[in-house]
Amino acid sequence: MGKEESPQVTRRTTRSSSSAANLDNVAEKTKAKDPPPPTLNDLLFGEEKPITLDDLLSSFPGRRVQILELLRILGPVNCPMLPVFIYGGTSTGKTSIILRIFAHLNRPFVYSSCLTCYSPRILFESVLDQLLLHRKSAANGYSSAKRCERPSDFVNFLREALTSILCNLQGNSGNLRSKKLEGQANGHMIYLIFDNLELVREWIKSNTMLPFLFNLYDILKMPEVGVIFISNTSPDTYYSCMGYVEPTPVYFPDYTEDNLRQIFMRNQSNKKLYSSFLDIVLKPFCRVTRRLDELSTAFSLLYKKYCEPLSDQGIVPNEDMKRRLFSQLQPHIASSLNEIFRVISLPSAEVGATKKPKRKDTTRKSGGCEVPDQLDFHMSTSAKYLLISAFLASRNPATLDASLFDSTGGSDSRKRKRKPSEKSKEHKETAEQESLMKGPGTFPLERLLAIFQCITSVAADEEEQENDGLGIQAGDNSLMSDVLLQLSSLCNASLIVKGGSCPLDGSTRYRSTVCEDMTLQVARSLKFPLSKYLYRG
């Protein structure tokens, strides 16, 4: 589907319009030539001819009730409607269904998502651009038709734009009542769709924006305008910024197991085989998640695994073969259940390469934490040491540094630990609780550098012993080079994060976000005895 390249349709290439077209095989014709000047029909979904109701219902299994409900609310042509609030979890088909419904009804609408329009100004301008049939291009310097930042300006512009559009629509329907042109808009209502409304709550001006958006219908006082909100979260999560009459709710529940089966069975070439595959995997996976997007990535890999022993993909499996395939797949299910959410960059190459759960990383930002076994770390030795020392600094209490890194003090601390009294046990429990709660500790730069120096000198010593004093100072020198630069690059990779500054001396404090497993791996690659230096409660 090359429709992303065609500027004529890009206005309508939302996440779901492309996916829905994918599902339906009602691919749009792509036009490689220059885009024609925008017309009123750009506010339509942009299909050659409207899809039928049956097509609509069959392309969304398990959503029959919701589709019919929405159609009832939208009503017959030219019926005014009260604002609608569509809500439901992620990947339950809210956006794609409402857009397909408009393709079916062939009525003009304006779609803007608060995800891409991440500030009031961009949201307002996107709505106005669509209404004014304005297209950003090189000729106009990719600027919007109107510049507007305040809700008050927006309402004025919106009213202007809507009136002119509605005039056009009414004129059209008046002229062409006798002979309905193909691709002509139905009726003279226009619908404003606001997607991802839950994100508005995070905006800076959310406490004025949300009541404004919810009240938009009342402010405009134009019965020809329908307002539709789509949100991931339920209406009660908006209550803190109340100040509007609640729009009428439509709920999209998560897909049930049966729905999921129907969805996965669509567009399968070998239905029998896939159905037997689903018999095995669907139930255990549904206990973990019923989200379509996550399941489909997991299943696509597993199915390949499932089909591996088969030479002919078009084969109709019998009972015996099903059993054989099942036993083949069984060991993979459990492992794949545990890595169900792993983001895989090279799906075909990495299948089954790693069995261990890898998503033990700490921040979502730090995708760099997931390092498969067989891949070496693309890090310099000093960066590795720095990482280890940061980890140590985060985990170990600062008071123990001296005893841990001083060769004489080490035995002392061990002696002290040997007599655990009742009180110390209690202490230990609360400390454990605290460590669970607090996470890795923060440390100043000086401490990190001190630890770094200690462990690198130890490593250098060992090297010396091995090499019999051949590379006397070489190791140390190379390790100490540009440590600060390394530190900043580790910070950029968010393996180490800058914490809040210390309230007393104002120096920046750091915190290591790397998990223990990964540090152990790093240590292993350096042959560094990490466990020796790690303080354990």
Partner 1 sequence: MGRENPAAEEALCLLRSRLCDPNFIFKPLSDSPDSNYSKLKFMISSSITEACNNSVLLLGPRGSGKVAVLELVLRDLLLEYPDMISVIKLSGLLHSEDVCAFKEIARQLCVENQLLFSKMASFDDNSQFMIAMLRECGLAHKTIVFVLDEFDLFAQGKQRLLYSLLDAMQSVTSQAVVIGVSCRLDADQLLEKRVRSRFSHRKLLFLPPSSEDLQRLMEHILSLPIDSSLPQDYAVEFNAKLQNVLADKRFKVIIDTYMNSDSTANHLLGFLFRAVSNMKLENGFLTLENFEAALSNVQRQPKLESLKDCSIVELYILVCMKRLEVKEQNSYNFNSMMKEYKSIHDSLRTPDYYSRSVCLRAFEHLLQRELISFTDKRGQNQSVEFHPVKLLVSFHELHQGLKSYRSCPAILQKLMAG
Residues 416-455 within binding reach of partner 1 (CB under 8 A): 433, 436-439
Hey, which residues between 459 and 518 contact partner 1 (CB under 8 A)? Answer: 497-499, 511, 513
- How many residues touch partner 1 under the rule CB under 8 A: the total is 73
Q: x/- binding map, residues 377-416, to partner 1, per CB under 8 A?
A: ----------------------------------------
Determine, following the binding rule CB under 8 A, whether residue 359 of this chain makes contact with partner 1. Answer: yes
| Three-state secondary structure call for residue 156 | helix
Between residues 230 and 459, which has the closer beta carbon with respect to partner 1? 230
Residue 357: strand, helix, or coil: coil
Specify the residue, 10 or 156, whose C-beta has the smaller distance to partner 1: 156
- Rounded-to-integer distance, Cα 536 and Cα 305, Å: 42
Q: Please report how close the Cβ of residue 141 comes to partner 1 at its closest, in angstroms.
A: 21
* Alpha-carbon 409 to chain mean position: 49
| Amino acid identity, position 198 | E
Report the distance separating Cα 16 and Cα 94, nearest Å: 9
Interface with partner 1 (CB under 8 A), residue from 236, 422, 468, 505 = 236
Distance CA 325, CA 257 (A): 22
Exactly one of 241, 337, 493, 526 binds partner 1 (CB under 8 A); which one?
Answer: 337
Is residue 357 at the binding interface for partner 1, with CB under 8 A as the rule? yes
- Residue numbers 38-77 binding partner 1 by CB under 8 A: 53, 69, 71-73, 75-76
225-231 and 109-113: which strand pairing?
Answer: unpaired
Q: Name the minimum Å distance from CB 281 to partner 1.
A: 15
- Using CB under 8 A as the binding rule, whether residue 302 contacts partner 1 is answered as no
Query: Alpha-carbon distance 268 to 265, whole Å?
Result: 6
Please report, as residue ranges, which positions from 147 to 166 form the binding site for partner 1 (by CB under 8 A). Answer: 150-152, 155-156
Among 159, 183, 186, 251, binds partner 1 (CB under 8 A): 251
Q: What minimum distance in Å lies between the beta carbon of 22 and partner 1?
A: 25
Chain centroid offset of residue 122 CA = 22
Rule CB under 8 A: say whether 15 interacts with partner 1: no
Are 340 and 285 spatial neighbours (Cβ–Cβ below 8 Å)? yes
Q: Please give the Cα distance from 191 to 230 (Å, whole number).
A: 13
Does position 338 interact with partner 1 (CB under 8 A)? The reply is yes
Which of 1, 5, 10, 80 lies at the binding interface for partner 1 (CB under 8 A)? 80
Q: What is the DSSP letter of 241?
A: G
> Footprint of partner 1 on residues 204-233 (CB under 8 A)?
208, 211-212, 215, 218-219, 223, 232-233
**Whole-number minimum distance, CB 529 to partner 1, in Å?**
26
The 3 state secondary structure assigned to 60-122 is: CCCCHHHHHHHHHHHCCCCCCCCCEEEEECCCCCHHHHHHHHHHHHCCCEEEEECCCCCCHHH
529 sits near partner 1 (criterion: CB under 8 A): no
C-beta of 283: minimal distance to partner 1 in Å? 10
Q: Of the candidates 475, 1, 349, which has an alpha carbon nearest to the alpha carbon of residue 9?
A: 1
